[in-house]
Amino acid sequence: MKQNEFLATVMPFKDKLYRMAKRLLVSKEEAEDATQEVLLKLWNKSDKMGSYKSVEAFAMTMTKNFCLDRLKSKQAGNLKLVHSNYEDGQHNLQRSVEQADSVSWVEKIMEELPEQQKMVLQLRDVEDYDFEEIEEMLGMKATAVRVTLSRARKAVREKLIQKHSYGIG
Amino acid sequence: MELDKKIEVLLEKYFEANTTLAEEKLLRDYFAQDTIAEHLEAYRSMFGYFNKAKVDVYTKQVPLKPRRNVNFRWLSVAASVIVVIGLYFGQLGYRNYQEQKQLEQEQARYAYQQTKKALNLLAENFGKGTQKMAYLKTFEVSKDKIYNEN
């Protein structure tokens, strides 16, 4: 496969890979690195690309695995993501800034979700994939996808309503 | 109001993960409006965020190196050629060594034969010496006889 051919194949979904990576890794730089890594791996395998049912789904699975590995090794190296512990410290400042932009709450809320829920929510509500694609990408059963998705959406709603009433009260 | 009802129903389905993609789009579009029913206001940021999250793009250039097409078939061919060459030269060296060893052995055998011959010769001459000594014995006997008679 030629380089421009490869780029043409990858172009339509590279942003989706990046957004998925960012959802999992949070940091922009890390997400960019992860995306690059995945694209390079894909490029090295591009000879076999024809044999994959869906290159996009395959690439998404690679991204998922790569990011989860990253997270795992980070946890092992005791480099926990920073954002999980600035909840308490600058409470007031944080809150007043966030109130101006309640949309970013949702981002924060999503950061707190378990990885599986994060991924399903990302793939469905941000990227609009249908259920079969999500099943393939995450290697999950149909019912599992729906249950996880429902849980994720409800979790977001719950926290959002909490913050809402808290903000008002 | 009709729409609000519909949205409420959709929301219910949405949280059970039973909505279709089209229905979810409907929800997102509804919450993107400026004016929505007050009791639904709480969901606005949720769907608003999903819309916002879609636009984040990956801008970095991927440095695609022209692939080093390491074909493992050729790699194995190269490896086996090296092995064959190695075997050939090894064989040659071994044979040389063998030949040299044989030569040495022959030389050693020759030297051994020569020494043996020389020693045999020596022994033969010694043999001759002892034969001559036998006459001395006769001389002794006759000498004794003469002495005893006197």
User: Which of B46, B50, B60 is closest, CB to CB, to A36?
Assistant: B60
Tell me, yes or no, whether A106 and A150 share the same domain: yes
Q: How far is CA B74 from CA A38, A43, B69, B88, B115, in A?
A: 27, 21, 10, 21, 61
The distance of B10 to chain A (nearest Cα, Å) reads: 13
User: Which of A18, A32, A153 is closest, CB to CB, to B15?
Assistant: A153
With beta carbons less than 8 A apart as the criterion, state whether A82 and A111 touch: no
Q: Which of A80, A99, A120 is the last residue of a domain?
A: A80
Chain A contact present for B38, CB below 8 A = no
Tell me, yes or no, whether A2 and A68 share the same domain: yes
Q: What are the pLDDT digits (tens) for A4-16?
A: 888 888 888 999 9
Residue owning tokens 């599992």: A144
Domain range for A104: 90-169
* Per-residue confidence (pLDDT) for residue B70, from 0 to 100: 61
Mean pLDDT, range B89-108, rounded to an integer: 93
* Per-residue confidence (pLDDT) for residue A77, from 0 to 100: 66
* Per-residue confidence (pLDDT) for residue A122, from 0 to 100: 94
Q: Has residue B20 got a pLDDT over 90?
A: yes
Q: Has residue B60 got a pLDDT over 60?
A: yes
Average pLDDT, chain B: 88
Q: What are the pLDDT digits (tens) for A96-108?
A: 554 446 777 888 8
Tell me, yes or no, whether A100 and A130 share the same domain: yes
* Per-residue confidence (pLDDT) for residue A84, from 0 to 100: 47
Burial environment of residue B13 by CB neighbours within 10 A (0 to 12, 13 to 18, 19 or more): middle
- Give the pLDDT band (50/70/90) at residue B37: confident
- Give the pLDDT band (50/70/90) at residue B26: very high
- Complex ipTM, two decimals? 0.77
* Per-residue confidence (pLDDT) for residue A93, from 0 to 100: 57
Tell me, yes or no, whether A74 and A4 share the same domain: yes
Tell me the percentage of chain B whose pLDDT exceeds 70: 96
Domain count, chain A: 2
Q: Has residue A85 got a pLDDT over 50?
A: no
With beta carbons less than 8 A apart as the criterion, state whether A41 and A35 touch: no
Give the pair of three-digit tokens for residue B106.
């022959």
The distance of B63 to chain A (nearest Cα, Å) reads: 8
Q: Has residue A51 got a pLDDT over 90?
A: no
Average pLDDT, chain A: 83
* Per-residue confidence (pLDDT) for residue A106, from 0 to 100: 87
Q: Return the ∠ at Cα B47 (arms to A9 and A169), rounded to 5°.
A: 150
Nearest CA in chain A to B28: A125
Q: Which of A47, A80, A113 is the last residue of a domain?
A: A80
Give the pair of three-digit tokens for residue B28.
């997102």
Q: What are the pLDDT digits (tens) for A52-66?
A: 778 899 999 999 999
Q: Has residue A94 got a pLDDT over 60?
A: no
A14 domain residue, yes or no: yes
Query: How many Cα neighbours within 13 Å face the side chain of A150?
Result: 13
A85 domain residue, yes or no: no
> Which amino acid makes up residue B137?
K
Tell me, yes or no, whether A76 and A119 share the same domain: no
- Give the pLDDT band (50/70/90) at residue B58: confident
Tell me, yes or no, whether A105 and A156 share the same domain: yes
Q: Sign (positive/negative) of CA torsion A42, A47, A52, A55?
A: positive
The distance of A156 to chain B (nearest Cα, Å) reads: 8
Tell me, yes or no, whether A9 and A40 share the same domain: yes
* Per-residue confidence (pLDDT) for residue A87, from 0 to 100: 47
Mean pLDDT, range B21-34, rounded to an integer: 91
A35 domain residue, yes or no: yes
With beta carbons less than 8 A apart as the criterion, state whether A26 and A118 touch: no
Tell me, yes or no, whether A63 and A106 share the same domain: no
Burial environment of residue A127 by CB neighbours within 10 A (0 to 12, 13 to 18, 19 or more): buried
Tell me, yes or no, whether A38 and A73 share the same domain: yes
The CATH number assigned to the domain holding A121 equals 1.10.10.10
Please answer yes or no on whether B17 and A147 come within 8 Å at the CB atom.
yes
With beta carbons less than 8 A apart as the criterion, state whether A43 and A6 touch: yes
Q: Which of A45, A80, A115 is the last residue of a domain?
A: A80
Mean pLDDT, range B133-147, rounded to an integer: 85
Maximum distance among all Cα pairs of chain A, rounded to whole angstroms: 60
A4 domain residue, yes or no: yes
- Give the pLDDT band (50/70/90) at residue A21: very high
Tell me the percentage of chain A whose pLDDT exceeds 70: 80
Tell me, yes or no, whether A99 and A37 share the same domain: no
Distance separating alpha carbons of residues A132 and A129, to the nearest angstrom: 8
Distance separating alpha carbons of residues B46 and B32, to the nearest angstrom: 11
Chain A contact present for B22, CB below 8 A = no
Contacts of B42 in chain A (CB under 8 A): 157, 160-161, 164
Burial environment of residue A92 by CB neighbours within 10 A (0 to 12, 13 to 18, 19 or more): exposed
Region of poorest pLDDT, from A148-157, B66-75, B113-122: B66-75
A114 domain residue, yes or no: yes
Please answer yes or no on whether B48 and A40 come within 8 Å at the CB atom.
no
Nearest to B42 by CA among A105, A120, A94: A105
Query: How many Cα neighbours within 13 Å face the side chain of B52?
Result: 15
Give the pair of three-digit tokens for residue B20.
């279709």
Task: Please report how the helices A102-112 and B41-53 are oriented relative to each other, as an axis angle in degrees rounded to 10.
Answer: 70
The CATH number assigned to the domain holding A50 equals 1.10.1740.10
* Per-residue confidence (pLDDT) for residue A91, from 0 to 100: 54
A57 domain residue, yes or no: yes
With beta carbons less than 8 A apart as the criterion, state whether B45 and A105 touch: yes
Tell me, yes or no, whether A125 and A97 share the same domain: yes
Tell me, yes or no, whether A70 and A2 share the same domain: yes
